[in-house]
Amino acid sequence: MKKIDHIGIAVNDIDEAILRYQRLLNSNCSKVEEVASEQVKTAFFSVGESKIELLGAISGESAIAKFLSKKSEGIHHIAFEVDDIYAEIERLKGEGFTPLSETPKKGADNKLICFFHPKDTNGVLIEICQSIR
C-alpha cells in the first residue's frame, strides 16, 4: 500500500457538509461527483497527500443510506492507494481478507476501487484504489 488516499465520511446532507468542511479545512472542495453504480454523491477535499471524501446517499438503495440508518454519520471507510489493484486483491484474498467484489469497479475520482469487509479489519471498511491513467 502506498499511502492513505482518502478517508470517507458518511453525511446526511452533503451540500451542508461541503460548506462545513470548507470552513474546517479552510479550502475549497476540489471535486463533486455522483457515482451512479454506488448511488452516492461524493465531494473531495485535498489535505496534503491525502483527501477527505464526503459521501451522501442519492437513493435508499445506497450502502451509505444503510450505513446512516444503522450507524448515523461518521467515518465510513479508509482508502489505500495501490500500484496494481488486481495483484493487491489476490494478495489480500490470500491473507484471508474478504473482497466485496471479485473484480475492481469504477469509483469516484477516476479510480478503480475494491472494498474489503469490515469484519476482517477490526470493524473498519477498507478500500483499495488505483488511479485510471
18, 63, 68, 129: residue in contact with ligand CMX (rule CB under 6 A): 63
What the block records as the C-alpha cell of 101 is 467484489
Shortest Å, Cβ 20 to ligand CMX: 19
Site pattern 25..54 for ligand CMX (x: CB under 6 A): ----------x--x-x-x------------
Residue 100 class from Cβ within 10 Å (0-12 exposed, 13-18 middle, 19+ buried)?
Answer: middle
Region binding ligand CMX by CB under 6 A among candidate stretches 14-22, 43-51, 82-90, 100-108: 100-108
Q: How many CB atoms lie within 10 A of CB 80?
A: 16
Q: Who contacts 62 (Cβ-Cβ below 8 Å, separation ≥6)?
A: 38, 39, 40
Sole window of 14-22, 44-52, 61-69, 85-93 interacting with ligand CMX (rule: CB under 6 A): 61-69
